[in-house]
A and B are shown apart, each in its own frame.
Chain A
Amino acid sequence: MDLAALLVTPFARLTELGGLLLVIPLMLPVVGLLLAPLLRGRWLGGGLLGRFTLLLLLLGLVAALAVATAVLTGDEALKYYLGGWLPPLGVALKADGLSAIMLLLSAVVILAVGVYAQREFQVPPDASETRASLVFWMLLMGVWAGLNAAFLGQDLFTLFVALELLTFSAVPLVALDGRAETLAAALRYLLFALLGSVLYLLGAVLFYGTYATLDITLLAERISGEPALPPAVIAAAALMTVGLLAKTALFPLHLWLPPAHAGAPPPASAILSALVVKASFFLILRLWFDVMPGALTPMTAQILGGLGAGAILFGNLVALRQARLKLLIAYSTVAQIGYLFLIFPLAARAESAALTGGMLQVVAHALAKAAMFMAAGLIAKALGHDRVRDLGGCVRVLPLTLLAFGLAGLSLIGLQPSGGYLTKTLLTAAADGTGQGWLGLVIQVGGLLTAAYLFWVFGHVLFGVPSTPAMPIKPPGRAQELVVLALALGALLLGLVPPALFDLVEVGRAGLEASAAVATAMAGAFGWSKLWGDVWPLLVVGLLVLGMLPWPDRPAGGSPRPATTSLSVTGHWAADLGTLLEPADRGLRQWPVAGLSLLILLLALAAAISTGA
């Protein structure tokens, strides 16, 4: 009893801080970032900096929990005026339900990454600091600081600074291993992300030039009072949206994502894929739902939804063609980002389901993708490579890791009771309810394609011929495996969370019924007919894919490598489709073509926004 009281009392006092509470998640990572260059040497059997960061991450989790509790129990957004200055002069912080969810999600995922990376980025006993250890831990703090600032900021310029902090911290993480290839990927990311920043800033300037304020609440008031959107606001919305899309890597602006996310060290990939691209997406939500809520014309919504649908189909199909596990997971991120943009065409008439489903996708994908990237890291470390075709036999070496990989995959596919299941059910219901059944179809096909590449990976894992003697070069740490498993379980069991907690989504915005939507989606999720209806298409896909695996012609002698492989019938189909898609992807990811896509998108969005103005 006393122990419980001891734990609860400071927590209760934290939630009583009100708006001041928001300063803690804003400043904790910044202080960590600033102290990091001074912390070297060893502590508690590891690098001092790594251990210190872990401590800070635990505090950060407590702070995020306190914010979420305060927002949920208070049923209204927390607000804080920095320096006591009211907008438009000063800068406000605000945590509504969406901010609270994002804060908590970041705290959980970064903590998991922090535990995982203790081993990977420790300081050897004979050194006080290494390049990789300082850069990784400092930039992890930098990313965290940028994320929290982006989730709490209420001022378009503060949000710009948050994006800069995020970009400058995320980019060097990509090139941490120092190979020429990853440096090129990092530069690509830097240039495209900076282009996005410039477009965003230009939009912010136009907002200020029109209304003399950058505060989101004040802007919303002034814009909703306009009889028609002024041209500057139309231009600003188009510029900011496209800039943020470039940072989110929505198809066809994904040129930087696959090499960057696949080339980074696994814990960094996990952060980049799970959280960093979500921050710019979150700001797109802020722009369209909070800054200019009435201005989302059907045309704009269709463009964003159409790109999302394109991302789901294209990303998944290209993922199916990847020979390396990490690239496969990176293309899967390209596809999963697509689901987020289905919110826009669905929100006009089914806002509850669309926003709840979208936020669930953010959470479920973050947990699952972080787990998958880190699992892939353990596999690559143990085997010395991540070629899917040569994964045979690794299940004996890394049973727990592969279990986690598979469970995370179930959430991506969208099987009950995972977060992915809730996302797909809510979004499909919203699509059917608003007469946009084709979006529902895209969601279903996306799930099946996801299943296809996961079956492909597991087909090789389970039935492939071991290419190397099944001895791990470096066995994974138990803590690493467990933390990956915990993330995967989190994604898988998200649907079993009490529906009342999902009411967090609606705090701070009127007219939403998140928990009711979730409860409806979960009701009957485990009925036999529903289960069978969801599982049989997967089984068909599984059989097709297993028929597609290259069956090795087992050599008669003792040579461990199969000499040739023959493709089955479905394999030939896939190969034909692949010869079409791979050049298309390579073309889209050329600089001039990506620049052209960006320009066309910018003009199209400006035209679409003005149709309703």
Chain B
Amino acid sequence: MQGTHRSTLLHSWAIQRRVIGALLIRESLTRYGRHNIGFLWLFLEPMMFTVGVTALWTFSGAGHGSNLPIAAFAVTGYSSVLLWRNMPGRTIGGLGPNMQLMYHRNVRAIDVFLARLTLEVLGATMSFIVLSSLFTFLGWMSLPEDILKVLFGWFMLAWFGTALAIFLGAVSERTEVIEKTWHPASYLLFPLSGAAFLVDALPKNAQDIILLLPMVHGVEILREGYFGSAIHAHYDMVYMTLINAVLTLLGLANTRIISQTATPK
């Protein structure tokens, strides 16, 4: 917060929390409104995606190179896709509808991004929890073998999605190339993201290539947490942390740049 009283870090954090909270309410109001089920869409929408994909994979008997139950495979896979794929969709061009709110100098680009991303993570997480509990209850999958590993994998995927979204969202304010290319890119990345296969089922040289994609590591560790000894997971969390950290830095730097230039008219 340039200007006001040489604010301390703690004071700034209080302001930022307030602003993000206000933006959270504003986003959920304009996105879901108060009519019919309103806020529940937040996780019903991703749930419908995951249920649909699970059904498709079940009936088409999609091969995934293991003998894991297909429902469990689809839930762990598709839920993690929701994390990294939908978040950039919310931040690319996401400042536009909020531009007028930046008349309040405490409202910054990063706050808009963080509010939108918090909603996305909440929705995807709730959808994942509800569906996996439901499928466990129905006997389609068993409880995770190592819940901490599942949580860690989920956290890493959410971090990756957030960092990627902040980076792409910020850069999209400077060039429309991002907006035009993200759709095809995310579509093409989906089948490569590890959601629909186990890395172990691939030939060795294909494994090396596919493991360049950071989200594959997140899905693999999440599945190891879930299925444990039933699968042989391939991941390198140091690699994923490194990619996440670099993306976070690039994202924050670019957000700072656009904060100087992107201003309401």
Q: Do the two shown chains form a genuine complex with each other?
A: no
